[in-house]
A and B are shown apart, each in its own frame.
Chain A
Amino acid sequence: MAKCVDDLKVVGNKLLTEDFCVIEVESGKKLPEFRPGQFVQVRIDGSPATFLRRPISIHDVDFGKNRYKMLIQVLGKGTETIYRLKSGDYLNVIHPLGNSFTIPDDKSKILLVGGGCGIAPLLFLGKQLKARGFEPDVLMGFRNSSRVLEIEEYSQIGDVFVTTEDGSLGEKGYVTNHSVLTSVKYDRIYCCGPDSMMKVVAEYSMKNNIFCEVSLENLMACGFGICLCCIVETTRGNICTCTEGPVFNIRELKW
């Protein structure tokens, strides 16, 4: 699938919290065939502090309208600039980048596990799974109830389970402590979130012999395999997260 540079028009910016928003953009061209798990590289102009593009997950896609959404968490100057965009503004991107989650051929029982902003690629994945007849469950972990994002959106995919670290919503603790893991037997887990969370999910999946893919968020300069900065140590050696990932089977990773 060919990568390209495109200027996208902002058609919506839904502010979720003080530091999260969902930005929707539209291309004047037909969108490439995005697959769940892929990302885009967003150019941020206007400050010497935002020299490089920012890699952002594809959160949801409307192929009919040539639109897609990105879930943004403000972490620095670059994401702050995106957070402040308004309808009618333009955003220069390189897309689509990276590999994707593997969608099974069999009738697997699937769990999507997301933490914080890491839930982003799981909405598009969940919708694609549902369209193919799967009934995935969703397990999301947040710090507290004020940080909980987009539950209604994910409810369209399947049953949603939540943990918060302080117990202010759902079960108290981390995603790997949630009771659904003992009551349902899953064949596959797809996970995206902070490294610390993905590592415990990977450990849980290994121990219980569950197929598991994680989506990494390594720092990168280019996003298409020329800078060799975003590498991850794997059984195949150091490889680029941007071209060989961001989605990896946990058995490949040297965690």
Chain B
Amino acid sequence: MVNLGINIGDLHFKNPVLTASGTCGYGTELDDFFDVSRLGGIVVKGTTLEPREGNAYPRMAETPSGMLNAVGLQNKGIDYFESNIYPKISGYDTNIIVNVNGSTLDDYISLSERIDRLEKIPAIELNISCPNVKKGGMIFGTNLQSAREVTRAVRAVYTKKLIVKLSPNVTNIVDFAKVVEEEGADSISLINTLLGMAVDINMMKPSLSTVTGGLSGPAIKPVALGMVWQVAKAVKVPVIGMGGIMTASDAIEFFLAGASAVQIGTVTFIDPAAPVKILEGIESYLQRKGFSDIKDIIGYINH
């Protein structure tokens, strides 16, 4: 029997496999393919105070071993989430985490206060790293002072576990990790997508309506792994690693580099049961290697 449980402070996760925001809807979309309650957690679609229609079509371009997206945080807003989605998903036996977005500091504060009152949501993931919105998003996550202010402001009103999701589109991601840790983040998740673009040479125009978008998929895995390794060494709070994880082997690389948990993202578009397959693969790896606890391999390469 292998112990797969991990903790963020006193919040227990039965295993270290979560779905990444924007790649699992609200969990219900995956019900046909596997039992979502088997996962350690699900991070639901990026949510804002007001409904957002997102960016114009086309929002997606396939790239070598990956894809660009420019969805732009399309969601129906917190009112709709509370009344229509929350009742449907609060029965899942897993940690449901809401990815929180805003255009202004006040948006982040108000939204975090609202979600704090939802009993079945034990944590939020503060998204200061979305590359696809004009206002807010990555602007908060690519300026140290703004990252500090938004984390501090949300920490002041949000009483449960605060995870801050970092952008890789900075000179030194470790500086951002240290700042959000100083301001009281309980955990740090990384990486969000890398800013990129593609051009359609037949139409002779950008492939995305927004010109640039966020790159995800296995193409970014080495970048993500490098950043997770750097950040995990520099902070004391648990790090949640993500970026291009396709298989259990990929996930294990993140644990060995220092991640306490992983989020599974783009692969779910291709193989909707991937999160649970990865979970099973991690368990059999630990058994094969003779470890009885996932915690024994977290940061193993740094020992």
Contact = CB atoms under 8 A, between A and B. Distances in A.
Bound pair: A and B? yes
Interface of A: 2-5, 43, 48-53, 94, 218-222, 224-233, 237-238
B60 interface: yes
B247 to A, nearest CB: 14
B69 A227 contact: yes
Contacts of A231: 54, 57, 59, 74
Given A51-B217, A52-B62, A229 B71 contact: yes
Interface residues of B, number: 35
Contacts of A238: 53-54, 74
- Please indicate which of the listed interface residues B45, B67, B273 has the most CB atoms of chain A within 10 Å of its own CB: B67
Contact of B29 (A51, A53, A226): A226
Contact of A221 (B53, B57, B65, B269): B269
Interface string B68-84: 01010010000000000
B280 to A, nearest CB: 16
The 5 closest A-B CB pairs, nearest first, are A229-B60, A222-B269, A226-B25, A48-B65, A48-B64
Nearest to B62: A52
Main secondary structure on A side of the interface with B: loop
B54 A228 contact: yes
A51 B71 CA distance: 19
B60 A220 contact: yes
A3 B32 contact: yes
Given A3-B32, A4-B32, A224-B29, A237 B24 contact: no
B30 A226 contact: yes
A63 to B, nearest CB: 20
Contact of B57 (A43, A49, A218, A226): A218
Nearest to B74: A228
B270 A53 contact: yes
Interface string B262-273: 000010111111
A221 B268 CA distance: 10
Interface string B215-242: 0011000000000000000000000000
A5 B271 contact: yes
A242 B24 CA distance: 15
Interface of B: 22-25, 29-30, 32-33, 45, 53-54, 56-67, 69, 71, 74, 217-218, 266, 268-273
Majority SS at the chain B contact face = loop
Contacts of A229: 58-60, 69, 71
Given A52-B62, A226-B269, A3 B57 contact: no
A242 to B, nearest CB: 10
A52 B23 contact: no
A5 B64 CA distance: 24
A19 B53 CA distance: 38
Contacts of B218: 51
Contact of B269 (A49, A227, A237): A227
B66 A51 contact: yes
Contact of A5 (B61, B66, B69, B273): B273
A48 B218 CA distance: 10
B268 A5 contact: no
Most chain-B Cβ atoms within 10 A of its Cβ — which of A4, A50, A52, A218?
A52
Contacts of A3: 32-33
Nearest to B207: A219
Contacts of A228: 22, 45, 54, 59, 71, 74
Contacts of A219: 58, 60-61
Contacts of B56: 233
B272 A94 contact: yes
A51 B59 contact: no
A233 B60 CA distance: 16
B67 A52 contact: yes
Given A219-B58, A228-B74, A231-B74, A51 B270 contact: yes
A8 to B, nearest CB: 16
26 contacts: A43-B270, A49-B62, A50-B62, A51-B64, A51-B65, A51-B67, A52-B67, A218-B57, A221-B69, A222-B268, A222-B272, A226-B25, A227-B23, A228-B22, A228-B54, A228-B74, A229-B58, A229-B59, A229-B60, A229-B71, A231-B54, A231-B59, A231-B74, A233-B57, A238-B53, A238-B74
Nearest to A229: B60
Nearest to B27: A226
Interface centre among B30, B66, B74 (most CB of A within 10 A): B74
Nearest to B72: A228
Nearest to B218: A51
Nearest to A92: B271
A224 B62 contact: no
B23 A4 contact: no
Q: Which of A3, A219, A222 has the most CB atoms of chain B within a 10 A radius of its CB?
A: A222
A49 B24 CA distance: 23
Contacts of A222: 268-270, 272
A231 B60 CA distance: 10
Contacts of B64: 48-49, 51
B75 to A, nearest CB: 9
B269 to A, nearest CB: 4
